[in-house]
Chains A and B, each alone.
Chain A
Amino acid sequence: MDWIMILKAFIVGGTICLIGQVLIDKTKLTPARILVAYVTTGVILGGLGIYKHLINFAGCGATVPLTGFGSLLAKGTISEIESNGFIGAFTGGVKAAAGGISAAIFFGYIASLISKPKIKKQ
């Protein structure tokens, strides 16, 4: 077990979440907008090749936040363009992120089927 990496993941991941909290408290952005902003930021940083240094440094501290999801989309797109040409721009991103997207849809669907809606107390 690499404890240094786990500590780095804790600190970097925590900091990324802290920035999100500051944005919520200071700017009154809705959570949906924050998630969109994070993913788009991740795509841009991933496309510029900056985000991979953060992943090398902090591992899951950088990949687990939604910026990591965005950088995965960008990374997939670029590597697919390199191997398959122009069509890769359209196939690469979703291909790389397919595991996370499929898992979220499938487990989300199953979880909402088995759950009982909470009755709101007045």
Chain B
Amino acid sequence: MKPIQSKEEYQEYVDQKTPNSPIAKNCFNAFWVGGVICAIGQIIFEICKTRGLDETNSYTIVSMLLVFFSAFLTGLNIFNKIGKFAGAGSLVPITGFANSIVSPAMEYKSEGYVMGVGAKMFTVAGPVLVYGISSSIIIGIIYIIFNTQSLTLI
């Protein structure tokens, strides 16, 4: 094999070696697994509502329960198998957020409980919180500016 000189050559080499993922099949799996997770959420929501909880609390309980299941399934090494099968189907729902907290924490457990588990928990969740919270503050400031000029944005 000839040595790789430039970035383009390397990219070509990578493209050659990586198997083409069957996009249609991946999309189908992502669709139905993601759909099922959301449908389970909706079932929990309906149960909460029949117990007389209001909408906001019901949505919070749905998120908390899904996070709980996802965290423990990740701990038991089951969720990673679902993730491999479903791709974005298990990543994009809030279950993926919990999974992204637990799996690096597990992996770096040997580095100790503070700098291993405590710090590595946020390798993916950290950026999500940083960008989510920062952009919500920016949205808030924009809202204040538009409101003081009595323009109704919403």
Where the two chains meet, the residues of A that have a C-beta atom closer than 8 Å to any C-beta of B are: 1-2, 5-7, 9-26, 31-32, 34-36, 38-40, 42-44, 46-49, 58-61, 63-66, 68-70, 72-74, 76-78, 81, 86, 88-90, 92-94, 97, 99-101, 103-105, 107-115, 117-118
Is the CB–CB distance between A25 and B21 below 8 Å? yes
Q: Collect the chain A residues with CB atoms within 8 Å of residue B41's CB.
A: 9, 13, 60-61, 63-64
Is the CB–CB distance between A47 and B38 below 8 Å? no
Where the two chains meet, the residues of B that have a C-beta atom closer than 8 Å to any C-beta of A are: 21, 23, 26-27, 29-39, 41-46, 59-64, 66-68, 71-72, 74-77, 86-89, 91-94, 96-98, 100-102, 105-107, 109-110, 117-118, 121, 123-125, 127-129, 131-133, 135-137, 139-144, 147, 153-154
The majority secondary structure among interface residues of chain A is: helix
Is the CB–CB distance between A118 and B64 below 8 Å? no
- The minimal Cβ–Cβ distance linking B50 to chain A, given in whole angstroms, is 8
